[in-house]
Amino acid sequence: MQLGLLLCDHIDQGFRCTGGDYPELFLARIREVVPEAQLTVFDAEAGELPAPDTRMDGWIISGSRHDAFGDYLWLTRLKTRVAGLLAEGQAVAGVCFGHQLLALMHGGKVGRAPAGWGIGGHHYRWQSHRHPLPDYRLLVSHQDQVLCLPEGSRLVAGSAFCPHAAFTLGERVMGVQGHPEFTPDYARFLIEQRRERFDEPLYRQALDSLSAPHDGAAVMGLILDFLRGRPWPAPKE
C-alpha cells in the first residue's frame, strides 16, 4: 500500500531525538496494520506538496499545532492541493488538524472546544451499529474541534466532550479528531510540555488516563480500509 502523508507540523526536538517525528509515528502505526505499507512524506508546512500527477492508494493529513482556520500561505496552498487530490478521485483522511481542515473545506465549522483542552486518553462512541468496535479510546491533544459537520457528511463517532469526533463525506473524505499514531510516551511529553495551560485536576486526570490501553491500531485499520475503498469489517458480537 502506497500512502502519502501531508505533514503539517513537526514534533519538538526534545522528543524527536528519542521517539521520532510524526512520519515515524505514522509509519509505525500503519505497519501494525499493513506491514508492507510505504509512506511518502510531503512537508506541507514547508511548502512541499505533491505534483499534479502524483497518485497514492490514499492520503493522510497530519495533526498540527496551528489552527485549521488560520491564515497561513502554506495552508492556503495545502487546501488547494487537497481539493485537487479529491477532484482526481483520490481519497484523503485527516487526523486532528487534518480532520478539522477537511471539515472546513467542505463547509463545516471549526473553533475552540467549548469544554476546553482535550488531553490524554479519550473515549468515543460509534454512532452506527455498522462499526466493529462498540467504542474506542484514542490519545488526544487539542483545543480546537469540529463544531458543525459539513452538509451531507455522516457522523461516525463522538463523545460528550467532542460530539463530532469522526466523520465521512462520500467515499473519499474521512476525518478523525483523535491521534491513532500517538504513543503514551508522546502524549505524556505533550502534557508535560504544555503543563502551564492545564489546571491540576485536568493535568492529573490526563496523566492517569495514559495507563489504559488505546485503540490506535484498530482505528488506523479503519482509516486504511476507508482509503482503499474496503468495507469495514462486521461488528463484533
Give the whole-angstrom CA distance, residue 15 versus residue 46: 20
**In this predicted model, what pLDDT tens digit does every residue of 159-200 receive, in sequence order?**
999 999 999 999 999 999 999 999 999 999 999 989 989 999
User: What grid cell was written down for 106?
Assistant: 467542505
**Closest to 150 in 3D by CA, of 113, 100, 116, 114:** 100
Identify the residue whose cell numbers are 482509516. Answer: 223
Give the whole-angstrom CA distance, residue 230 versus residue 228: 5
Residue 129 — pLDDT band, cuts 50, 70, 90? low
DSSP letter at 179? Answer: B
Exposed / middle / buried, residue 115 (Cβ in 10 Å: 0-12, 13-18, 19+): exposed
Give the whole-angstrom CA distance, residue 216 versus residue 137: 8
pLDDT at position 61, please?
Answer: 98
Residue 133 — pLDDT band, cuts 50, 70, 90? low
Host H or E run for residue 200: helix 200-209
User: What grid cell was written down for 46?
Assistant: 514547508
Using alpha carbons, list the distances in angstroms from residue 233 to 29, 34, 55, 122, 227.
19, 15, 26, 23, 14
**In this predicted model, what pLDDT tens digit does every residue of 5-53 receive, in sequence order?**
999 999 988 888 777 899 999 999 999 999 999 999 999 999 999 999 8
**In this predicted model, what pLDDT tens digit does every residue of 218-228 receive, in sequence order?**
999 999 999 99
Give exposure, 154-178, as e/b (b: 16+ Cβ within 10 Å): ebbbbbebbbbbbbbbeebbbbbbb
What domains, with CATH codes, occur in the chain?
Answer: 2-113+142-182+216-227 (3.40.50.880)
pTM of the entire structure? 0.94
